[in-house]
Structure 1
Amino acid sequence: MNTMNPIRKTARAIGVGLLALAVPAALVAPTVPAAAASGNKLDQAVTALRAINTMTASFTQIGRGGQQLTGKMVLKRPGKIRFEYSGDVPVLIVSDGSRLTMLDYEVNQKQVWPIKNSPLGALLQPDGDINKYGTLMPTNHADVTSIRVKDPKHPEYGVLTLIFEKNASAPGGMELAGWVSVDAQNKVTKILLDNQRYGMSVSNGTFMFKDVKPRTRR
């Protein structure tokens, strides 16, 4: 009988799916053809992303059944990110610059992926080429830019759709509002960012973590 706490079950399922954006339906309705959008929006978004040195934000994560989790995200480029959940969710997701690790402290389980092999690779990989694999997607708002990133040679890496909103105070004049991630098993995960702050000092120790306890054999 499966007695897993529903909140932790949701966090684990979302963690395995590896994080995406809760985009309001109005933002993804294809009412404005991508071809009609400004031809340099892709370049602008890439420039804005690369202009981020450090960033913190609150996030809201929405699962398949509509369950919501909240927490704090810390980003340090290149390659480092930390998702720490609020409340009693014993799941932590951290990238140290090369590997993305999900830890479930309640059941002492750990999963590790090279960042290039995950949907988040487009955001985290130091040498990731969004210009090469990114496609400008349609939105219905001139101040919203949606970029779908997929490596056609490696479908197993999944798909990441980055969402930017025009904001003069953000690096590059465009603010990362979140993303939509689809992994190789077609699991969709959604993240919406809020309270974004940039340029603060972030220690590399932020991306260290307490390892799970190894299982003991009887």
Structure 2
Amino acid sequence: MMFRRGFLAGAAALALATPASAQQLSLAEISNYLNRLQTAEGGFTQINGDGTLSTGQIYIKRPGRIRFEYNPPDDSLVMAGGGQVAIFDPRSNVPPERFPLNQTPLNIILEQNVDLTRTNMVTGHTSDGTTTTVRAQDPDNPQLGNIQLVFTADPIELRQWIVTDDIGAETTVILNDLESGGAVGDIQFNILNEMNKRGF
């Protein structure tokens, strides 16, 4: 399956429709934005390491919860909740693959308190005039990989991320029409409930 331990990692970046000019966002501004982002949902396009594309719906409920529902023909489900990540493969009759969320770079933006100003957390911070890109890692466990976050400004919006996992695999996730502040139910991130629904 194309979405294993290295889920949420990335290669190619797509051009984003953004305002003509924007100043580079500071790490404090980005941290504050992520900490205010309590719930969000929208569409996404994923560029896999082999160049194939997947699409679906994403749901975020910070801290610690995210859900990717993939459209046909994939129909996979990846969800994080209770400190765990679970990967459901509809073509398999075995329980989902599970591993700790804190072993993935995505944990950096799902933490209770995001602080990109921490020593050795950010290894890259650039702007191309329309977007600001930050590359971050767990300063205590850099071997787990990194995440590149792409933001637009005025207002600040997370538009894309590229995660490189612990074995160097990459996946790009481009967010489409992400809407924040809505009601997202806790049940969507309950791994055991999802397993029960699927007969595991």
Q: Normalising by structure 1, what TM-score?
A: 0.77
User: For the aligned residues, what is the CA RMSD?
Assistant: 2.3
What is the CA–CA distance in structure 2 between the aligned matches of 1:77 and 1:153, rounded to whole Å? 22
Q: Residue in 1 aligned with 2:59?
A: 74
Q: Pick from 78, 82, 100: which aligns with 1:114?
A: 100
Shift, 1:127, TM fit = 4.3
Counterpart of 1:149 in structure 2: which amino acid? A
Aligned twin of 2:30: 45
Distance (Å, rounded) in 1 between the aligned partners of 2:30 and 2:139 = 21
Structure 1: distance between partners of 2:67 and 2:36: 19
TM score, norm. by length of structure 2 = 0.83
Identity across the alignment (%): 27
**Aligned mates of 2:73, 2:26 — CA distance in 1:** 40
How far residue 89 of structure 1 moved from its aligned partner, in angstroms, is 1.6
Q: Which blocks of at least 5 consecutive residues in structure 1 are unaligned?
A: 1-11, 27-36, 169-173
The question of whether the paired residues in 2 share the 8 Å contact of 1:116 and 1:157 is answered with no
1:19 matched to which residue of 2? 8
Structure 1 pair 98–165 and aligned structure 2 pair: CA distance change class (3 A)? same
**Residues 27-176 of structure 1 aligned to structure 2 (within 5 Å):** 38=24, 41-107=26-92, 108-132=94-118, 133-141=121-129, 143-168=130-155, 174-176=156-158
Kindly state the Cα deviation for residue 128 of structure 1 after the two structures are TM-superposed: 4.8
Instruction: Using the TM superposition, give the Cα deviation of residue 110 of structure 1 relative to its aligned residue in structure 2, in angstroms.
Output: 1.9
In the TM superposition, what is the alpha-carbon distance from 1:91 to its structure 2 partner? 1.7
| Deviation for aligned residue 1:164 | 0.9
Deviation at 1:138, TM superposition (A): 2.2
Greater Rg by CA: 1
The Cα offsets for residues 136-160 of structure 1, whole Å up to 9 and x where unpaired, read as: 422322x311111113431332111
Structure 2 vs 1, CA of residues 43 and 129 (structure 1 numbering), >3 Å: closer, same or farther?
closer
- Report the secondary structure of 1:13's partner residue: coil
Is the contact between residue 116 and residue 125 of structure 1 (CA under 8 Å) also seen in structure 2?
A: no
Over residues 16-49 of structure 1, what are the superposed CA-to-partner deviations in whole Å (9 max), with x where a residue is unaligned? 32114552379xxxxxxxxxx75x6111111111
Higher helix share: 1
- Segments of 5+ residues of structure 2 without an aligned counterpart are 17-22
The worse-fitting range, judged by mean Cα deviation, of 90-99 and 45-54 is 90-99
Aligned AA for 2:3? Answer: I
* CA pair 144-88 structure 1, distance change in 2 beyond 3 A: same
Going from structure 1 to structure 2, the CA distance change for 1:63 and 1:75 (only over 3 Å counts) comes to same
Runs of 4 or more, structure 1, over 4 Å off, are none
